[in-house]
């Protein structure tokens, strides 16, 4: 641990120390190790990730990786930061469109690397790319009358929603979980009665569960309702 309190590999990601690009194995770099870790997690899932598995991906030994990264937790932090696409630029003068763009960009990022959702969140964002995402979201709200606390809460609300939808899709095993809804509808028809479940029966009879709408439609609906709430707050703060 360095004088900043951060692991050396995290300092290197921030440019606070020289990257050890010349290691025991020629061509081995911190960026290459992180990219190999992402490749393993993308193909085989997070349980398959280990220092030895990443070393094998690189044709190296696990010991050679420890010159660059001292622990698997450090590797995961670097992988998550690298897995996100560059943060989107806010749309000048339109906070709602900017946050919509921001939310969809984050959804795209976690869909591309669903293992990110399986890494427990141990604290607020600290890595360079993560903070650029936070900065991008805050810039979207920069010209609104929201106070600092309002802005941070709004960003937390939106990103929590994105992660919840992405986690649901990953748990079901598809980006389009409502493809299973017709089967669910048929099962409900065998299990419930109008007497015991009158409201649910009404929903069932409406045919909503028989549709195969993609999860994108559900995501749009929920995001719009969240932004409606933020918009009401913006209007209230403007009074």
pLDDT band for position 119 (cuts 50, 70, 90): very high
CA of residue 165 relative to chain centroid, distance: 10
**95-176+214-237 belongs to which homologous superfamily?**
Tetracycline Repressor, domain 2 (1.10.357.10)
Confidence at residue 82, expressed as pLDDT on a 0 to 100 scale: 93
Which residue intervals of the chain bear CATH 1.10.357.10? 95-176+214-237
CA of residue 85 relative to chain centroid, distance: 10
On the question of pLDDT at 223 being above 60, the answer is: yes
Closest CA to 102 of 86, 82, 116, 122: 86
CATH architecture of the domain 8-83 equals: Orthogonal Bundle (1.10)
CA R_g for the chain: 22
User: What confidence tens digit (pLDDT) does each residue in 144-163 have?
Assistant: 999 999 999 999 999 999 99
Mean pLDDT across the stretch 186-209? 92
Query: How far is it between the farthest Cα atoms of the chain?
Result: 73
Mean pLDDT across the stretch 221-229? 97
On the question of pLDDT at 19 being above 60, the answer is: no
Q: Which long-range contacts (CB under 8 A, 24 or more apart) does 93-99 make?
A: 93/143, 95/140, 95/141, 95/143, 95/144, 95/234, 96/227, 96/230, 96/231, 98/139, 98/140, 99/137, 99/140, 99/141, 99/154, 99/158, 99/227, 99/230
What are the start-end ranges of the H helices in the chain? 8-13, 30-44, 51-58, 62-65, 72-83, 95-112, 128-140, 148-172, 181-191, 198-205, 215-237
d(CA 237, CA 227): 15
User: What confidence tens digit (pLDDT) does each residue in 35-81 have?
Assistant: 999 999 999 999 999 999 999 999 999 999 988 888 899 999 999 99
Which residue intervals of the chain bear CATH 1.10.10.60? 8-83
């Amino acid at each position: 641990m360095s004088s900043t309190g951060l692991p050396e590999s995290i300092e290197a990601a921030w440019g606070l120390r020289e990257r050890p690009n010349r290691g025991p194995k020629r061509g081995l770099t911190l960026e290459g190790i992180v990219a190999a870790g992402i490749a393993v997690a993308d193909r085989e899932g997070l349980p398959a990730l280990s220092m030895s598995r990443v070393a094998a991906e690189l044709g190296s030994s696990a010991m050679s990786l420890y010159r660059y990264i001292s622990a698997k937790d450090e590797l995961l932090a670097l992988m998550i930061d690298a897995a996100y696409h560059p943060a989107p630029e806010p749309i000048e003068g339109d906070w709602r469109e900017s946050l919509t763009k921001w939310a969809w960009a984050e959804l795209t990022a976690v869909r591309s690397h669903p293992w990110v959702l399986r890494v427990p969140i141990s604290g607020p964002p600290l890595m360079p790319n993560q903070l650029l995402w936070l900065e991008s979201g805050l810039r979207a709200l920069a010209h609104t009358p929201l106070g600092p606390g309002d802005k941070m809460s709004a960003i937390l609300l939106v990103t929590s929603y994105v992660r919840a939808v992405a986690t649901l899709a990953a748990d079901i095993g598809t980006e389009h979980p409502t493809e299973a809804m017709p089967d669910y509808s048929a099962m409900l028809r065998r299990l419930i009665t109008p007497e015991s479940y009158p409201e649910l029966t009404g929903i069932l009879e409406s045919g909503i569960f028989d549709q195969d709408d993609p999860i994108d439609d559900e995501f749009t609906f929920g995001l719009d309702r969240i932004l409606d709430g933020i918009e009401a707050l913006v209007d209230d703060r403007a009074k």
